[in-house]
A and B are shown apart, each in its own frame.
Chain A
Amino acid sequence: MATTLDKVDVLTVGVGWTGGIVAAECAKSGLKVRGLERGEARGTEDYSMVHDEFRYAIRYELFQNLSRETITFRNNRQMNALPMRMMGSFLLGEGLGGAGTHWNGQNWRFLPYDFEIKSQTEKKYGKDKIGKDFLLQDWGITYDELEPYFTKFEYTAGISGEDTNPFWGKRSKPFPTPPMKKTPILEKFEKATTNLGYHPFMMPSANLSEPYENPDGSTIAACQYCGFCERFGCEYGAKSSAEITVVPTALETGNYDIRYHSNVVEVLKKGNKVTGVRFYDTVTGEEFIQPADVVVLTSYVLNNAKLLMVSNIGEQYDPDTGRGTLGKNYCYQILPGATGFFDDEQFNTYMGAGALGMTIDDFNGDSFDHSKLDFIHGASLSLTQPGLRPIAFNPVPPDTPAWGAEFKKASVHYYTRALSIGGQGASMPYKENYMSLDSTYKDAYGVPLLRLTYNFTDQDRALHKYLSERSAEIMKEMGANTIAPANPLTDYDIVPYQTTHNTGGTVMGNDPAISVVNTWLQHWDAENLFVVGAGNFAHNSGYNPTGTVGALAYRCAEGIIKYSKTGGSLV
């Protein structure tokens, strides 16, 4: 028998960037907010043993325990979906800060083109540019409308950067802190791309170039370039994350608390409103009902969608009929690139920071003409110096054996003599790529696992090929002796790590026929339910997602505060 707790004004399911932002803004406005977090409390003091590649990066110290919950996966509807039994392609976070704790800190605003991708693509290239099986849609909001929220997030996080990129949207304010240090490796990329007529700039970084106090009074330290960002928490408090910014801000108001070890399994709905959530205490096993005036789903993309599905809120997308919106437009990230092997130069590749890099956007969005190309969009191309660690990084030129004497010689030699250009490639929504519930496998609470049906498309393969060729050209200009462009894309494989940039499934828009939430991230079928995160993306852009997620969270918070005064639909 579930115990019913006292009602709160606003409840967030999960406490990472989105849960923290919603909590900070709502608590500041006087609302009583509670966060339910299934993982543990943690903070900077818990990351003091973090310079341990094996424990954190290889054995996944900070990530979800898959023995309790995972997803199932198949490439297409003809296959049986099977559980992702080991972590691989993407890394699901758990605990305070969520995936925002172990991010690299590469912080972008999606392009103006992204938010109006359908209308702009049709206007410029006609209706059939990539075919009707691609479910392109505008986001219902423009870049200009989102601009204040982007700025707000960047000032909360203290992002370090320079506004010299001619291809991105207009910024109302300069970056809060100057760019990171430009290293010899980055200068090499800068010189090569400049020679080729491109427009390099320092990557916007949440590893801060100098100590910073944000508008809420939180302090973020200066990055030490120690080389342990992605898959690690920052032991210096120098990588912006929820637990050093918005969470303390929310707690200081006295209007916020976090209940840890609380695994939400259902959103409770009555009529056109939700009444709260049902959750289990993972320590005691007790079941609870937490009533709330407003429920906000602020967990990871996959779990936000799953909670709506198991709670029967909204209509499940059906690829046969095209009906339903929940689970549609699942996208990923396409990763073109090239590695260069340098015989006569040695680089300090073990030093670095997750977002220490230079980028060009000359082949991103619609910065270049696609009339004669068989794909749309593109990728940001970057050379980053994230700090390469020895277990994961064993670069060898093409045709080198994968083990034995030759492998050892090459991987030891090139550990400090190989550089890579990597693209964050856009991913377009396709009618066969979607999320739904699995009919066989269940989690530790008996709830069905989320089922992912996903494969790369010809659009993805063409984009990947074109951008990998451009990457190889840059690498050549950089003077590499041997160049290995990324292997051609075939089928999506859930085994090797690719990226934790899963998007879609709870798409935003201004038409309930093709979106799950409106442009305030308010659910079309339940006015006091908000769903926010990368799940709102109608497609994935040629950038890392967090900057846009942060902006949407600030927009969502404003919507919740508005809703708590007026009620009803915000649109």
Chain B
Amino acid sequence: MSNEKEKQGVSRRDFLKTTGIATGTLIGGGIIGGLVGYNANKGSGKNEKTGETQQGQNHEINVGLQHFKTMKSFNILSQATERILPEDDLGPGAIVLGVPYFIDNQLAGAYGMNAKEYMQGPFEDGAVTQGYQSRLTRAQIFDQGIAKLEEEAQSRFKKGFEELEPDQMDEILTAFQKGEVKMEAVTSMFFFTLLRQATLEGAYSDPIYNGNRNMEGWKMKGFPGHQYSYAKDIESKEFIEYKPQSISSMTHK
């Protein structure tokens, strides 16, 4: 059962009423404080400016490579993510969603450099239950993993990974998933786990991170992103489809 009407979500004015701020019950910081200062007496109550221009359009000219040095590495990554989340009749796959750019950009920052992970030695393999014990950063693991994808393609099919048929790519990715491909200082299983997780992150994170292009990942799943409130609709027996909204709507009013 699906209620097809597209809802705009709760307006700022409605929102102020339901929290109690409009009646003076509360002194709020955060969103409440910001709204009172910024917009409490303005506008019709509709979110007039949540158009696409603020939320992820012009994607092509705003994204680029921050980590990978060659298009070849980037293209191998792209094909691998597309196999994890392929385009189908439900919607776009990883490539159209911008997932490869998302991963590239993440690898160039704190995630790729393991800025918040404990990286002191000594390093030992340990048991599976003890988790990540590699001395490598995620950026190093991706670089090595992508080189190994290419190596596997050459040794199994005498072709580059990018040129393989989808089922050949799947065969190689499955070997990685099972930990059958030899890697240095990390298992191929661990690389695959990172790759799969990063693909899902790129497909469904807010578009401000350069994936989930035009919020197509969210639209596919029915996730509305950043909405002020569901207080008025939480008891609805119908499934409600909201027009999704990026957190960038907070900064581009």
Interface residue? B19 (CB, 8 A): yes
Interface string of B170-208 (1 = CB under 8 A from A): 100100010000000000000000001001110011101
- A41 to chain B minimum Cβ distance, whole angstroms, is 12
B239 touches A416 (CB 8 A): yes
- B116 to chain A minimum Cβ distance, whole angstroms, is 5
- Interface SS of chain A: loop
A389 touches B230 (CB 8 A): no
Q: Which residues of A contact B209 (CB under 8 A)?
A: 54
B88 touches A49 (CB 8 A): no
Interface string of A32-58 (1 = CB under 8 A from B): 000000000001111111011111001
Q: Which residue of A lies closest to B116 (CB)?
A: A65
A533–B37 Cα distance when bound, in Å, is 39
Interface residue? B144 (CB, 8 A): no
Of A343-351, A471-479, A498-506, the stretch lying at the interface with chain B is A343-351
Q: Which residues of A contact B130 (CB under 8 A)?
A: 73-74, 79, 82, 84, 494
Which residues of B, 1-45, contact A by the 8 Å Cβ criterion? 1-2, 10, 15, 18-21, 25-34
Interface residue? B128 (CB, 8 A): yes
A412 touches B133 (CB 8 A): no
B230 touches A225 (CB 8 A): yes
- A297 to chain B minimum Cβ distance, whole angstroms, is 23
Q: Which residues of A contact B160 (CB under 8 A)?
A: none
A56–B63 Cα distance when bound, in Å, is 23
B231 touches A224 (CB 8 A): yes
Q: Which residues of A contact B54 (CB under 8 A)?
A: none
Which residues of A, 76-117, contact B by the 8 Å Cβ criterion? 79-80, 82-88
A415 touches B222 (CB 8 A): yes
A59–B110 Cα distance when bound, in Å, is 10
Interface residue? B71 (CB, 8 A): no
- A303 to chain B minimum Cβ distance, whole angstroms, is 15
B223 touches A75 (CB 8 A): no
Interface residue? B129 (CB, 8 A): yes
A219–B21 Cα distance when bound, in Å, is 11
Our pick among B27, B85, B115, B228 for the contact of A67 (Cβ within 8 Å) is: B115
A283–B122 Cα distance when bound, in Å, is 28
A225 touches B196 (CB 8 A): no
Q: Which residues of B contact A70 (CB under 8 A)?
A: 118
Q: Which residues of A contact B21 (CB under 8 A)?
A: 221
Given A45-B33, A442-B120, the answer on whether A222 and B19 have CB atoms closer than 8 Å is yes
Interface residue? A214 (CB, 8 A): no
Given A45-B33, A351-B233, the answer on whether A494 and B224 have CB atoms closer than 8 Å is no
Q: Which residues of B contact A65 (CB under 8 A)?
A: 115-116
- A490 to chain B minimum Cβ distance, whole angstroms, is 9
A314–B131 Cα distance when bound, in Å, is 32
Q: Which residues of A contact B221 (CB under 8 A)?
A: 390, 412, 415-416
Q: Which residue of B lies closest to A391 (CB)?
A: B204
A405 touches B88 (CB 8 A): yes
Q: Which residue of B lies closest to A440 (CB)?
A: B122
Q: Which residues of B contact A54 (CB under 8 A)?
A: 201, 205-206, 209
Q: Which residues of A contact B124 (CB under 8 A)?
A: 80, 82
Our pick among B10, B120, B132, B236 for the contact of A441 (Cβ within 8 Å) is: B120
A13–B94 Cα distance when bound, in Å, is 46
Q: How many residues of chain B get a CB closer than 8 Å to chain A's CBs?
A: 80
* Residue of A83, A221, A412 with most partner-chain B CB within 10 A: A83
Which residues of B, 199-253, contact A by the 8 Å Cβ criterion? 199-201, 204-206, 208-209, 217-218, 220-231, 233-237, 239-240, 247, 250
B116 touches A67 (CB 8 A): yes
B230 touches A237 (CB 8 A): no
Which residues of A, 198-247, contact B by the 8 Å Cβ criterion? 210-211, 219, 221-227, 235-238
Given A227-B230, A390-B217, the answer on whether A66 and B116 have CB atoms closer than 8 Å is yes
Interface residue? B61 (CB, 8 A): no
A495 touches B129 (CB 8 A): yes
Q: Which residues of B contact A184 (CB under 8 A)?
A: 235-237
Given A54-B209, A225-B234, the answer on whether A237 and B29 have CB atoms closer than 8 Å is yes
- A426 to chain B minimum Cβ distance, whole angstroms, is 22
A348 touches B239 (CB 8 A): yes
Q: Which residue of B lies closest to A455 (CB)?
A: B129
A43–B31 Cα distance when bound, in Å, is 12
Q: Which residue of B lies closest to A224 (CB)?
A: B229
B117 touches A66 (CB 8 A): yes
A51–B250 Cα distance when bound, in Å, is 10
Interface residue? A182 (CB, 8 A): yes
24 sampled A-B residue pairs with Cβ under 8 A: A48-B34, A48-B250, A52-B206, A53-B204, A58-B205, A73-B130, A82-B124, A83-B118, A83-B133, A84-B130, A85-B132, A181-B235, A184-B237, A225-B231, A235-B32, A350-B224, A391-B205, A403-B84, A415-B221, A415-B222, A416-B221, A441-B118, A442-B120, A493-B129
* Closest A-B pairs by Cβ, 10 of them: A54-B205, A45-B29, A224-B229, A44-B29, A51-B226, A390-B204, A351-B230, A211-B20, A346-B239, A44-B30
Beyond the given pairs A80-B124, A403-B173, A404-B83, 14 more chain A to chain B contacts, judged by CB atoms under 8 angstroms and listed by A's residue number, are A51-B226, A51-B247, A65-B116, A66-B116, A66-B117, A219-B27, A221-B19, A224-B230, A236-B32, A237-B32, A390-B217, A390-B221, A403-B83, A415-B221
